[in-house]
Structure 1
Amino acid sequence: MNGFVQLASWMYLMNGLSNESLGSVFVVFLRHYGVSYTLGGQLIFLQFFGFLLGVGVSSLIVRRIGYRHTLVLASLCIAIAQIVTAMLPPMPIIIVTCLMNGFGLACTQNTIVASLMEWFAGRRAVVMSRMEVTFGAGSLIMPLAVSGFIAWHHWNLGFYLVGIISLVLSLAWMFIPINAQHDTHVGPRDAHSAALTVQGAGAKTLLISVFVGMIFLYVGLESCMNNFLPSIFISYIHIKTSVATLTVTLFWIAMVIGRALTGRVIRRVPYSRFLLISIGATMVLFALLALIQNPWADVIFVFLLGLSMSGIFVIIMVFANHAFPGQNQRVTTLVTLFAGLGGALMPALFGWLMDHESIRINLWNLTGFALLLFAMLIVIMRMEENRLHPVASDEPHFSS
C-alpha cells in the first residue's frame, strides 16, 4: 500500500495548492472582473457550499463506485474547475467552477481520510501526519509561486498549475494497485491509547459531539490565523504591511515542521496526552500574544503557535476514529463537515469582533476559544479515565 499512501500524499499536496489558488490572487482576480469584495466573499461561500455538498455525497459515491473511481472523479472535478478558471471565463461560469472546486476538495479529503482510517488501524496518526505535511506544503508553496506569476503579469498561471497536477493525478489513480490487506500494518505504529468505553446512546452522542466541537473550534482558530494574522500585526504591533504578510508564511513554515515531527512524536505519546500538551501550549501562547506587545517576541510566539497547533487536527480526527471502531466513514464525514463549518463560520464571527473590539480584546477572544477547546479535551479525558480495556475491533457504534 506504499503506492496508495504516496499518491494520497500527492493528492493532499494538490488540495493545499487548490485551497490557496483563489485566495492567493484574490485582489488581482477581483480587479480583473471589476467586482467588489462582497461578490468575492460570495464566491468563497460558494466554494464552501460545494465543499459541504461533497462531504454529504462522497460516502454515497464510494459505496457506488469504490475508492479508486471516487478519487478519479474528485481529481477531474478539481482539474476542470482550475483549468476553466485559468481561462478567465465570464462570471457565471466562475460561479460553477467555485462549486466544482469545493466539491472536488471535499470528495478528495473525505475519501482519502476514510480509507486511511479503515485500512491503517494502529498507524492512523503516523500515516495521516504525512498527509497533513503535504497539505501544509501546498498551502505554503502556492502563495510563493503565485507571487512570481503576478510579477510576470501572468497571475492566472497558478490555476493552470493546479489543474494540470490534478489531471495527472486522476490518470495515476487508474493504475495504482489498491490492496487493503497488503502492508497496511507494516511500519511505525501510534503509541497505545486505550478505548473510550462509553455505554448508552446519550454518552456516545456526547462523545462524538465533543470531538466534532473540537474540530469546529480548531479549524476555526487556524482559519482565523490564516486570514487575520497580518491585520493583527499591522494594527497591534504597528509594523509594515509587507512585513506583516510574512507572519502567515512563518506560521505555515512552523506548521509544516510541526506536522513532520508529529508523525514521530505520536509513536511514543498517547493521543490524549499529545492533545493536552498541544492545546495547553496554544492557549498559553495566545495569552502571551495578548499580554506582550513586542514585535520580536510576538514573531517568536507565532512560530511557536504554528508548532503547537500543527498536530491538533490530525490527532483529534484519529482519536475520534479510534473511539468508534467500525464507524470510520461516518466519523470521517462528521469530522470533515464540522471542519468546513468551523473554517467558514469562525472567521466570520472573528471578523465581526475585529470590527467592534480592540486587537488586544480579540487576542483574548482567541485565548478563550483555545480555553474552550482545552475544556472539551478535559471532558474526553474524564471519559477516558473510565476505560476498562484496550480498544477492540467490535466496539459499539455511537448510534443506538
Structure 2
Amino acid sequence: MKKLVWMGSLFYLLMGFVKVTVASIITVLLPLYDRVYTDAGALIFIEFGASIFGMLIQPWLANRMSKKTMLHISAWGVAASYLLIAFLPSWPLLLAGFALAGFLGGIIESVIAAVILEGLQSNAAIAMSRLEVAFGVGSLMLPLAIGMLIVSGMWNYALFGIAAYCIFLSLFVRFTRFGDAEPLFRPAYKAQVPNAVPAGAASSGPVGAVVAAAATNHPSARRKRVLSAPGALMLPAFILLFFFYGATDIGLVNYLPSLMLETGMADAATAPISVTVFWAAMIAGRMFAGYEAEKLGYRRYLFIHWSGMIILLSLFAVNRNAMIGYALIVLLGLTLSGLYVVTLVYAKKLMPRNIARNTSILMAGCAVGGGLFSVTAGRMLDAMPPSYVQWMMAGIALLSLLTYILYAKERQAETSAELAQA
C-alpha cells in the first residue's frame, strides 16, 4: 500500500500544479490578451466546469477501462494542453487548453481518491492528508517558480516542465506494480440488481433507500420510502458542504493576491506572496490534519474548523493592516488545511457503498462551488469594492457551518430512532 500512497502523492503534486496555474499566471495573461477580471473569472469557471465533467464521467469510464489506462491518457493529455498554453495561442485556444487540462485533471483526481479510499480500510484520513500535502507542495512550488521566471520573461518554461512531469508520471504508472492493490485498477462492471430485494437487505444510506423502494410497484410508496429513509439527506448534505468549501478555498487561492492588492495590504510586487504564505500554512496544517481528525473525531474536527473559518474570514474582511492580513492568511491556511480530506473520509465512513461514485460527485460539487464563486467574484471585483467579495466568503463559511449543524442534528435523530426500534 505504500506504493499506492506514493503514486497518489505524485499525481496530487501534479494536481497542485494544475489547480494554481491560472492564479499564478493571470497577472501576466490579462495584459497580454488585453483582458479584465471578468475574463479571468470566465477562464477559471471554464477550467473548473471541465474538471466537474471529468470527475462525473470517471465512474462511467471506470466501468469500461482500467484506471491505469485512464491515468496514462490523462497524463499525456495534460502534457499536450500545457504545451499548447505555453506557446500563448489565441484566446479561444487558450481557453480550450485550460478546459482540456481541467477535464483530464478531474479524471486523475477522482481516480486517485477513489483508489486510495477503496484500498485503505484504516487510517484513511492520514493517507489522504499525505496526498493533500503533496497537492499543497505543488500549489506552493509553481507560483514561486513562475514568479522567479517572470522577471526574465521565461515564465512559460514552467509549463514545459509540467508537461515533462506528466510524461514521467505516465511512465511511472506503466512500469510500477502495486502487488495486492492491483485489482483496484481493474475495470468495474455494473452489478445486476436482483428482481426481489429481501427485507432488510438495503442499507440505511440513500442508495439503499432507492433499492428498497424499487421493490415496491406503487410510485407514491417508492417516493415516500426514499424521502423518509434514514440518511436520505446524507449525500445532498455532503454535496452542499463540498460546494461551500470549494467556493471558499478555490476563491481564496485564485483571488487572494487581487484582494491583498485592491485593499491596499500589498502592492503588485508583493501581492503574489500571499498565495505562497497561504499554501505554506496549508502544507503545515495537512501534515497533522489526519492525526488531529483521528484524535478528535471527524465530527468534532469539522465543527471546530468550520467555526474557525467564519471568524477568520470575518476578521480578514474588516482588516486593512498588512501584517495582520498575512497573519490571518496563515491561520486561514491552517484552518482550511484538513477540511477537504477529513470531510471526504467522513463521507466514506457514513456512506460505505458506491465509494467511487460518491467521491466523484462530492469532488464535482467542490469544483462547481469554486467555479461559480470565481465567476461571481471576478465580476464583483470589476464593479464593487473588494470588501464585498471578502464578506461573501465569510457568508459562505457561515452557510457551511449551518449545513453541518443541521446535518449533525439529523444524524443524531436518526440514531435515536434506530435505537428506539431495536
TM range (shorter): 0.7 to 0.9
Contact 1:196 1:323 in 2 (8 A): no
Aligned to 1:156: 156
Deviation at 1:255, TM superposition (A): 0.8
**Aligned to 2:355, which of 328, 333, 339?**
328
Deviation at 1:354, TM superposition (A): 4.2
The alpha-carbon distance between structure 1 residues 112 and 180, as it changes in their structure 2 partners (threshold 3 A), is farther
The alpha-carbon distance between structure 1 residues 103 and 236, as it changes in their structure 2 partners (threshold 3 A), is closer
Contact 1:197 1:388 in 2 (8 A): no
Contact 1:129 1:314 in 2 (8 A): yes
- Residue 176 of structure 2 aligns with an amino acid whose one-letter code is I
Q: Mind listing any 5+ residue stretches in structure 2 that lack a counterpart?
A: 185-202, 210-224, 417-422
**1:4 and 2:4 matched:** yes
- Residue 14 of structure 1 aligns with an amino acid whose one-letter code is L
In 1, Cα distance between equivalents of 2:21 and 2:326: 26
Aligned to 2:196: none
**1:100 and 2:125 matched:** no
In 1, Cα distance between equivalents of 2:408 and 2:48: 32
Aligned to 2:345: 318
Q: How does 1:241-390 map to 2 (within 5 A)?
A: 241-354=268-381, 358-386=385-413, 388=415
Secondary structure of the equivalent of 1:80?
A: helix
Contact 1:197 1:387 in 2 (8 A): no
Deviation at 1:106, TM superposition (A): 0.5
Contact 1:197 1:386 in 2 (8 A): no
The alpha-carbon distance between structure 1 residues 275 and 169, as it changes in their structure 2 partners (threshold 3 A), is same
Q: How does 1:196-211 map to 2 (within 5 A)?
A: 201-202=226-227, 203-211=230-238
In 2, Cα distance between equivalents of 1:93 and 1:234: 29
When structure 1 is superposed on structure 2, of 370-379 and 95-104 the one drifting more is 95-104
When structure 1 is superposed on structure 2, of 48-57 and 84-93 the one drifting more is 84-93
Deviation at 1:237, TM superposition (A): 4.8
The alpha-carbon distance between structure 1 residues 91 and 243, as it changes in their structure 2 partners (threshold 3 A), is closer
In 2, Cα distance between equivalents of 1:95 and 1:227: 17
Q: How does 1:175-214 map to 2 (within 5 A)?
A: 175-180=175-180, 201-202=226-227, 203-214=230-241
- Residue 35 of structure 2 aligns with an amino acid whose one-letter code is S
Which has the greater radius of gyration? 2
Aligned to 2:218: none
The alpha-carbon distance between structure 1 residues 251 and 332, as it changes in their structure 2 partners (threshold 3 A), is same
Query: What is the CA deviation profile of residues 172-221 of structure 1, one whole-angstrom value per residue up to 9, with x for unaligned ones?
Result: 11122234559x9xxxxxxxxxx987875225342211111111111111
Secondary structure of the equivalent of 1:342?
A: helix
Scaled by the length of structure 1, the TM-score of the pair is 0.85
Aligned to 2:192: none
Deviation at 1:331, TM superposition (A): 0.7
The alpha-carbon distance between structure 1 residues 298 and 173, as it changes in their structure 2 partners (threshold 3 A), is same
The alpha-carbon distance between structure 1 residues 278 and 240, as it changes in their structure 2 partners (threshold 3 A), is same
In 2, Cα distance between equivalents of 1:120 and 1:178: 13
The alpha-carbon distance between structure 1 residues 92 and 230, as it changes in their structure 2 partners (threshold 3 A), is closer
Deviation at 1:258, TM superposition (A): 0.7
Contact 1:256 1:310 in 2 (8 A): yes
Aligned to 2:128: 128
Aligned to 2:35: 36
In 2, Cα distance between equivalents of 1:362 and 1:12: 29
Q: How many residues align?
A: 377
Contact 1:4 1:177 in 2 (8 A): no
In 2, Cα distance between equivalents of 1:12 and 1:3: 14
In 2, Cα distance between equivalents of 1:231 and 1:91: 22
When structure 1 is superposed on structure 2, of 82-91 and 282-291 the one drifting more is 82-91
Q: How does 1:71-110 map to 2 (within 5 A)?
A: 71-89=71-89, 93-110=93-110
Scaled by the length of structure 2, the TM-score of the pair is 0.81
In 1, Cα distance between equivalents of 2:260 and 2:8: 36
In 1, Cα distance between equivalents of 2:113 and 2:179: 16
- Residue 16 of structure 1 aligns with an amino acid whose one-letter code is G
Deviation at 1:27, TM superposition (A): 3.8
Deviation at 1:347, TM superposition (A): 2.5
In 1, Cα distance between equivalents of 2:95 and 2:256: 28
Contact 2:247 2:396 in 1 (8 A): no
Secondary structure of the equivalent of 2:64?
A: helix
Contact 1:196 1:383 in 2 (8 A): no
Contact 1:140 1:253 in 2 (8 A): yes
Deviation at 1:355, TM superposition (A): 5.0
Deviation at 1:125, TM superposition (A): 1.1
Contact 2:24 2:142 in 1 (8 A): yes
Deviation at 1:67, TM superposition (A): 1.7
**1:67 and 2:92 matched:** no
In 2, Cα distance between equivalents of 1:140 and 1:278: 22
In 1, Cα distance between equivalents of 2:7 and 2:275: 28
Contact 1:74 1:105 in 2 (8 A): yes
In 1, Cα distance between equivalents of 2:235 and 2:46: 28
**1:226 and 2:225 matched:** no
In 1, Cα distance between equivalents of 2:384 and 2:322: 21
Deviation at 1:298, TM superposition (A): 2.8
Query: What is the CA deviation profile of residues 72-122 of structure 1, one whole-angstrom value per residue up to 9, with x for unaligned ones?
Result: 111111112112333445555444422321121001001111111111123
Deviation at 1:294, TM superposition (A): 3.3
Contact 2:78 2:105 in 1 (8 A): yes
In 2, Cα distance between equivalents of 1:240 and 1:98: 28
Q: What do you get for the CA RMSD once the two structures are aligned? A: 2.7
Secondary structure of the equivalent of 2:13?
A: helix
